[in-house]
Structure 1
């Protein structure tokens, strides 16, 4: 395994001991495959960082722990890596743990492992449960700051939240759907990936409250719990929507939008409008195909800059007054997809994004 890095650099990036890394690099026996993969990933991350980082500055090793579908996790990684080169006077070296699903115990174990090996900060997207809040408190005791991202854990000892104002997002979705549907009674399908994600819960509560106050003629049908994963989400929608129920609109808070459309199409359901969240590659393609009506977008790069600046402020590398605010809600339609987003996906294989189908959307 050829590389230009010192063993101690790889060990720091991988969160392993130098002796363990030495055994992996020299192909010695009695090394678990999981450990070999961590070393390989660490070298790849160091290679990527070497191409983008400045040559001098305070090095901050941060751990990025994310439970999210891969399409969104990839966007988080890209946003952070795009942001890092401009964060002077700090040089951020991220270590990534990103999985589509994680149990509470797995998240807690990961956070406790970070506490043992040390870190300059943690960026966390996880469920709002007491066990994870306790693990955050343990990190604080070791003076490791935690910034929650995109879904908050407000009762924890985290130093800041970076991401969309989810209550504004839910109210905005209700406003759009209420105006597009008009005064006609109808059913609105809502989906969350998991009710324990505080951000989605806040979106749903705000959406529900706004509909109840201003658009009481609309009835909610809930198909939540699919984790934002295609197969699970499609199954939830099929189970929730009965043949006699006509779906007038969809508000998808947790992703899996192509799967939602497939399920509805199979039930001969063609909603008048469909609101989603986040400009990942799937949603950009669905907008281009006019398969969904609008996406509530927030600038991940601005959010990641804010998260990094909170950690810099904690380490006294930046005054609190210089920390950027998180991004605001932007309504994106097929007519105003941001140029930089379109450019970012321009060189990627769009055939895989289409998943070999085009919905009959009206």
Structure 2
């Protein structure tokens, strides 16, 4: 029998020579179905070489995060990259995309594209009909989806990874009520309302104040939309016309602008100020007595859990509990434990 060449094997398997080379030398980048076809052709036609016992191309995982530039999402991105690097290129090919929160249609189009090009998707997404439709296309093509940070309860997803946002809001309400020594009004600065995380934080915060601290009035919710200049303008207008503000709860980004406005109105360090995520600015504000509490989501645990759950599904078809498998505990940070 003539020696079988890569060209002959490629013809028998119905693929290109480069594909045969990738399979036989375990270089990755080939679908499992194509790899099995090449290996079967090699065995049936007596290729005189040691063949891989098993073949698995690197899982192509797409991580889609917010492009708002916040510390949390920058940290989350770094953690995903570190985890993927530790797993190795033979096991995971990580793709990262950042999409502005103001463009849900663009996000939906990208998710729909990933349904054809990725093995799994991890996504931070808002409530929008186009997003839900795109997630259905992933399910129809067998591409598992994990929502991260903010959930889409009615979406076609494998599970959600994140903290209990309602509980975080309730905790902020409890801390606010127990720390305030006098009656007064509290302002909430909110992120985008089309993300369930912000809605749930506000709901939990309001519920605790109403039930347990009736002497505290929730003045209003400022819809900052995670836009820094909008946050500063709205808060500045509110503080200018109201001298009874004793507390502020921020559910999203904009701590630089918020602290500047509080300082302009001699309230920084004088009112109870609660926000989310521990980073250089919030750590400094805590140390200086300007910030009362930080609720930190633990970005590293988000990335690790999401990758673990996704790889178990892809490698062993192991399903996850929609809410429990991806549960992340948040931390309450004060000036005494922020280092």
Q: Which residue does the alignment assign to 1:49?
A: none
| Gap runs ≥5 in structure 2 | 1-21, 23-28, 30-54
1:120 maps onto 2:119 in alignment: yes
Specify the SS of the correspondent of 2:327.
coil
Q: Which moved further from structure 2: 277-286 or 87-96?
A: 87-96
Q: Which residue does the alignment assign to 2:92?
A: 92
Whether the 8 Å contact between 1:287 and 1:334 is mirrored in structure 2 is yes
* Distance 1:100-1:293 versus aligned 2 partners, 3 A rule: farther
1:103 maps onto 2:108 in alignment: no
Give per-residue Cα distances to partners, 1:69-127, cap 9 Å, x unaligned. Answer: 212221110121233355589833222221443322111122122224x1011111121
Q: TM-score, normalised by structure 1?
A: 0.71
Specify the SS of the correspondent of 2:81.
helix
Give per-residue Cα distances to partners, 1:260-298, cap 9 Å, x unaligned. Answer: 111222233344211111123432333333331111012
1:135 maps onto 2:141 in alignment: no
Q: Which residue does the alignment assign to 2:194?
A: 196
Q: CA deviation at 1:224?
A: 3.1
Specify the SS of the correspondent of 1:276.
strand
Specify the SS of the correspondent of 2:291.
coil
Q: Which residue does the alignment assign to 2:335?
A: 334
Q: CA deviation at 1:134?
A: 1.4
Whether the 8 Å contact between 2:144 and 2:310 is mirrored in structure 1 is yes
From 230, 233, 237, the counterpart of 2:231: 233
* 1:1-362 correspondence runs (5 A): 59-67=58-66, 69-71=68-70, 72-85=72-85, 87=87, 91-116=91-116, 118-182=117-181, 184-270=182-268, 271-317=270-316, 319=318, 325-338=326-339
Q: Which residue does the alignment assign to 2:9?
A: none
Return the alpha-carbon distance in structure 1 between the equivalents of residues 309 and 203 of structure 2: 28
Return the alpha-carbon distance in structure 1 between the equivalents of residues 90 and 186 of structure 2: 47
Return the alpha-carbon distance in structure 2 between the equivalents of residues 65 and 266 of structure 1: 37
Whether the 8 Å contact between 1:61 and 1:121 is mirrored in structure 2 is yes
Give per-residue Cα distances to partners, 1:8-42, cap 9 Å, x unaligned. Answer: 9xxx8xxxxxxxxxxxxxxxxxxxxxxxxxxxxxx
Whether the 8 Å contact between 1:221 and 1:241 is mirrored in structure 2 is no
Return the alpha-carbon distance in structure 2 between the equivalents of residues 194 and 234 of structure 1: 15
* Structure with greater Cα Rg: 2
Whether the 8 Å contact between 2:160 and 2:326 is mirrored in structure 1 is no
Q: CA deviation at 1:150?
A: 0.7
Whether the 8 Å contact between 1:243 and 1:267 is mirrored in structure 2 is no
Return the alpha-carbon distance in structure 1 between the equivalents of residues 190 and 153 of structure 2: 19
Q: TM-score, normalised by structure 2?
A: 0.76
Return the alpha-carbon distance in structure 1 between the equivalents of residues 151 and 103 of structure 2: 17
* Distance 1:310-1:57 versus aligned 2 partners, 3 A rule: same
* Distance 1:330-1:138 versus aligned 2 partners, 3 A rule: same
Specify the SS of the correspondent of 1:301.
helix
Return the alpha-carbon distance in structure 2 between the equivalents of residues 307 and 143 of structure 1: 18
Q: CA deviation at 1:172?
A: 0.6
Return the alpha-carbon distance in structure 2 between the equivalents of residues 321 and 141 of structure 1: 18
Return the alpha-carbon distance in structure 1 between the equivalents of residues 155 and 191 of structure 2: 22
Return the alpha-carbon distance in structure 1 between the equivalents of residues 288 and 154 of structure 2: 41
Give per-residue Cα distances to partners, 1:184-227, cap 9 Å, x unaligned. Answer: 21111111111111011111111111111001111113343323
* Distance 1:324-1:236 versus aligned 2 partners, 3 A rule: same
